[in-house]
């Protein structure tokens, strides 16, 4: 069965809508997520301001850019939390995966639609975090307002890369019933390698060179580089082209892994 067989738009929207409602059903979790992000934004402003001290720029990045980068990355990362996308493990463990694989909407389509819905359900938290950052003076507007369109396009491509990577890691559940450890390593690794925790401008030379060849850079650092004007014009379009290339590569890898996983399910099911 092909993982990408035709999808009904109605079925995709239905799966995404259900995931949004599920995200909003747990009000205490939602409130704690908002409170946690507000505190995180404030702390990031304090920490990065303290780190800069009396210095105005470090490696060509001024204090305002560093603070803004840190809080904007934290707000976006809140919507991309991979912990929210590990439902595939429970399906495999309970045997629900057998039923899911027979549905008209392919399994890959189901999971991606639900993950996109979960992400959409967490966007209000991100919006509140960004509004709070503006109120306390922790987020500056991009130096060129005209780059907002490119930033939005690059951010959408970065989200697509994140969703595919999250699903690839979740696929480990076909070979291991407990993937909590994998997800923790992935969360920390992707946060560091994507520039969500520390801007890649500040990475040492050899490490920065290695990170340039990994897809994580394209999911967070590339959009933020466009937002802050360090990638403009032809450089910005080239970076967007790299993001599109990574989507194609990762989609091919996902199809390959799914092909192997599908046979694994047949073996376990007898």
Q: Extract the tokens encoding 111.
A: 């999971």
B/e letters for 27-37, b = 16+ CB within 10 Å, e = fewer, are eeebeebbeeb
* Confidence at residue 238, expressed as pLDDT on a 0 to 100 scale: 95
pLDDT given for residue 84 in this prediction: 58
For residue 270, the model assigns a pLDDT of 47
The residue behind tokens 């549905």 is: 103
Q: What is the pLDDT of residue 85?
A: 58
Provide the pLDDT for residue 170.
84
pTM of the model: 0.83
The set of residues, in sequence order, having a beta carbon less than 8 Å from that of 259 and lying 6+ positions away, is 3
The span from the CA of 270 to the CA of 265, in Å, is 9
In whole angstroms, how far apart are CA 199 and each of 64, 145, 196, 228?
Answer: 13, 21, 7, 12
pLDDT (0 to 100) of residue 77 = 86
Which stretches in the chain have pLDDT values below 70? 1-7, 82-86, 104, 265-270
Each domain of the chain, given as residue ranges in start order, spans: 9-269
């Amino acid at each position: 069965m092909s993982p990408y067989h035709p999808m009904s738009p109605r079925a995709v929207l239905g799966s995404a809508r259900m995931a949004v409602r599920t995200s909003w059903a747990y009000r205490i979790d939602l409130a704690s997520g908002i409170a946690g992000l507000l505190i995180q934004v404030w702390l990031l402003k304090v920490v990065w301001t303290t780190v800069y001290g009396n210095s105005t720029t470090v490696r060509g990045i001024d204090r305002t850019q560093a603070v803004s980068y840190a809080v904007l990355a934290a707000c976006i990362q809140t919507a991309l939390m991979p912990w929210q996308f590990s439902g595939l493990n429970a399906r495999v463990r309970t045997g629900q995966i057998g039923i899911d694989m027979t549905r008209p909407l392919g399994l890959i389509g189901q999971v991606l639609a639900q993950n996109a819905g979960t992400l959409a359900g967490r966007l209000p938290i991100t919006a509140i975090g960004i509004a709070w950052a503006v109120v306390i003076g922790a987020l500056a507007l991009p130096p060129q307002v005209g780059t907002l369109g490119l930033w939005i396009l690059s951010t959408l491509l970065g989200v697509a890369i994140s969703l595919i990577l999250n699903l690839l890691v979740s696929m480990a559940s076909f070979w291991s019933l407990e993937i909590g450890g994998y997800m923790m390593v992935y969360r920390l690794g992707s946060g560091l390698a994507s520039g969500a925790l520390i801007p890649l401008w500040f990475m040492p030379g050899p490490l920065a060179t290695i990170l340039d060849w990994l897809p994580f850079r394209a999911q967070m650092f590339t959009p933020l580089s466009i937002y802050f004007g360090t990638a403009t014009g032809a450089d910005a379009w080239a970076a967007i082209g790299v993001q599109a290339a990574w989507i194609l590569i990762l989609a091919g890898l996902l199809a390959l892994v799914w092909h192997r996983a599908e046979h694994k399910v047949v073996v376990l099911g007898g």
